[in-house]
Structure 1
């Protein structure tokens, strides 16, 4: 609930993750703190790698994000 409120205010932390094969952009979040995002993202990146994604790059962004979360 607090994360959603922070997101509506544009204060939440998100990771924009870009992959090739598939050529996809994932938005991972929202998180209240940058630290909590950094601690959590490694599991998500491992899952993407295990599923066969390659050239995984990400950027941590503080913003307001809505659907779609996968492009």
Structure 2
């Protein structure tokens, strides 16, 4: 039986646009490390700025979370 939050996920935060993306799940930290450069390349190609990558064990409820500009 698999416990919640045992899978590895790549969490990528971008400052512009202000978003958090989750990619996964991966069975090992090494699989996540091998995969994340492709995600960063795609986001960079889409013009994202301020890219921060964190590899962690978690269970995201949403795969993409973006802050809407509220005025």
Please, what TM-score do these two structures have when normalized by structure 2?
Answer: 0.81
Mapped to 1, the partners of 2:59 and 2:37 lie a distance apart of: 22
Higher helix share: 1
Larger radius of gyration: 2
Please, what TM-score do these two structures have when normalized by structure 1?
Answer: 0.81
Of 11, 14, 17, 2:6 maps to: 11
Mapped to 2, the partners of 1:26 and 1:33 lie a distance apart of: 19
Number of residue pairs matched by the alignment: 65
How big is the alpha-carbon RMSD for the aligned residues of Structure 1 and Structure 2? 1.6
Mapped to 1, the partners of 2:60 and 2:14 lie a distance apart of: 19
Unpaired runs of at least 5, structure 2: 66-71
